Chains A and B, each alone.
Chain A
Amino acid sequence: MRPTVIAGPTGERSRSWTGRARAGLAEKLPMENLLPDRQPYYVGSWIYVFGVATIAALVLTVLSGVILAIAGPEWWHISVAGRFFNSLHFWSVQLFFVFMVLHLWGQYFMASWRGGRAPTWMIGVVIFAISIVAAFTGYLSQQNFASQWIAVSAKDALNATGFGAFFNVLNFGQMYGVHVALLPAAIIGLVALHIVWVRLKGVVPPIDVMPAGTRPTPKKVR
């Protein structure tokens, strides 16, 4: 089957997959949508700030987590600086969840899945679910009596649900590896995808402003 010939952003036509991918991206996600410098007037509300506040808390969580991973448990339990970064990691996670839930409430009451935005909503749901597992494995990775108690308590719950067949919460190495590598990579990747999908469809308008499928043109934005 012959590949479809698509005109690129500068009018050139390419049959290669990179050329077609470039042309497709330029058509579906032009740079003015990917990195917009203007937004519709209704975005000027604190409700729309909760999403970016969640990302700010995630950045702080990842940075403090990298420092903790480099220095290790003895440092974060004993030294003053280590305890500070341990607390910074813990409280940035609390802020991450608070802002994520506030963002979820705002998007829920705005029915943000309107206008072909269901993938954005579902990616957000998956991020929420993975974040809960990430927080749980974080509690297991503390390397103190609390983490041992949480692991022993959670073991029975996970075995009761059947998930215990795949994970051993008493295995510190497994839990720590999942916490510092797999889950952060999944969350960061999905957050990036979430943002790209927001850029693809535009920010969802409030219910009474305009049809949800409408993407405001530059003339309609401030």
Chain B
Amino acid sequence: MDTPAAYLHWGFILISIPNLLLIGLMIVLFALALFIPLPGEKEKA
């Protein structure tokens, strides 16, 4: 963890790969939360 992260660079966009992965994971989590029903809620839908 003490070594510098690798960075991706497109034009003015500069982002580390860990940050990019985390943002991607959060978007996936958000999408899953929209579509996956909460356990025990199926019969009430």
Contact = CB atoms under 8 A, between A and B. Distances in A.
A45 B44 CA distance: 12
A222 interface: yes
A46 B44 contact: no
A222 B30 contact: no
Contacts of B13: none
A222 B44 contact: yes
Contacts of B38: 44-46, 49
A50 interface: yes
Nearest to A41: B44
Interface residues of B, number: 14
By secondary structure, the B interface counts as: helix
A163 interface: no
Interface string A86-110: 0000000000001001100110000
A101 B26 contact: yes
Contacts of A49: 33, 38
Given A98-B26, A101-B26, A44 B33 contact: no
A150 to B, nearest CB: 13
A44 B44 contact: yes
By secondary structure, the A interface counts as: helix
A47 interface: yes
Most buried by B among A46, A98, A222: A46
Contact of B32 (A46, A101, A105, A222): A46
Interface of A: 41, 44-47, 49-50, 98, 101-102, 105-106, 146, 222
21 contacts: A41-B44, A44-B38, A45-B33, A45-B41, A46-B32, A46-B34, A46-B38, A47-B33, A47-B34, A49-B38, A50-B33, A98-B22, A98-B29, A101-B26, A102-B26, A102-B29, A102-B30, A105-B30, A106-B30, A146-B2, A222-B44
Interface of B: 2, 22, 26, 29-30, 32-34, 36-38, 40-41, 44
